[in-house]
Structure 1
Amino acid sequence: MKLHITPDISSTETYQKLFAKLQNPDINYQNYVKNLAKHHFQVKAVIQDILGCSSLDKLNALNEKGRALLAALREELDSLDLYGRESGDEKFIIELEAQKHLLAGLLREFRDANVNTLFNIEKAQREELLKSKIEGESNLRNRKKPAKKDGLSMSSGVTEQLLAISRQLADTTQRSQATLDTLVSSSSAVHGTQSELENTAGTISQSSKLLNKYGRREFTDKVIMFFAFLFFLAVCLYIVQKRLF
């Protein structure tokens, strides 16, 4: 894709016009011309960088930079337009029209540079992808040749590994069976101990009931003896009282 760039501010004729404008005694006019020329040169530099760009990330970064510079250029043109209308000086109006024409050409170059560079990047990516595919197929064919020679040795190695794994599984199964037998024996012992503990708990419970019963009887006997003693004392006091009085 061929990019067409029209003559603009970077040409010799444009430089001559720029220097002629800077000879104008109006300081405000000179400042506007200098600022606009600076923005034009900066955008032109970005366009050249875009044309030499080889990656999408860098292209996006340059696009952001270029759009920011173009926005600054438009702001400067708006300021020139406002000053020209307020001052009524014809040279500002003429300069504004000339700068708008240059801006239109600059925008075309910026757009064409992006389209051209994007086309070149996509083309390079397609070529790289095709090259990688061809190299991958070639490497695959080269790997298939020695694979046939090494097939038997690889199969033998795999078989030995499978046998070793089978032996390990058998040993693990035997150890698991022995562990299971031990657990069964331990479970039987635990059940026997549990039965003995239950019997012992029943005996203790019966003994506790008997002790409680004997305790209640002992308390009842003590109460009866206490009241009998009181009755005896009362009888004794009664007899003594009768004899004395």
Structure 2
Amino acid sequence: MASSLDVHVRICGQEILKYDLEIKALIQDIRECSGPQSALMEFNSQVKEKFNQLRCRIQDLEQMSREQDSDTDRLTIQAETEGQRRQMLSNQTAWRKANLACKLAIDYMEKDELLHGGENLATRQRKATKESLVQTNSNITESLMSISRMMAQQVKQSEDSIGTLATSSRTVQETNDEFKTMTGTIHLGRKLILKYNRRELTDKLLIFLALALFLATVLYILKKRLFPFI
């Protein structure tokens, strides 16, 4: 049971790390977002969903700490839980700052477009720079997605390991039950053998007494026939 719980703690930690990386990537996307407002809203919607998933997994980790029998393991997992909470709060702060900076940048760009009525050289350069940043961000996102897929594969392997442990546990329990049944059968057989041995001894004793009585009767008859006057 302890091994199974350790596997669940490890899987939970891996999922927390995955959500943390995904949140950081989305915050970076918000920092680099050049508009429109709908794009920013879409990023924020994704961040909220990831925060909800992260919060649930941190709560699961806290629950697992309460289920530990060892004080050392319980304190270690509690410390990990608090560290993850602090990291989540740090990400929330970074998220708010990125939102503020992005909104200011979008407002500034909209005002600049209204004032100049079109693109000038500086605007084109800025657009080219942002396109380069978008490409870089796309590469980073792809790398994070690759890490996420690797972590999902590790989670799947861990789940398979849990299934193997559960099957082994059932096999051991069934073997133990068979041993108990065999022990009962052997004990019953031993009692029957002892009873049979006692009965055999009794039979031998009765046969011996009957034989002795028979011999005594024969001797008595012979004595009366051969020596009638004695």
TM range (shorter): 0.3 to 0.5
Structure of greater relative contact order (alpha carbons < 8 Å, 6+ residues apart) = 2
- Per the normalisation by structure 2, the TM-score is 0.45
Which has the larger Rg? Answer: 1
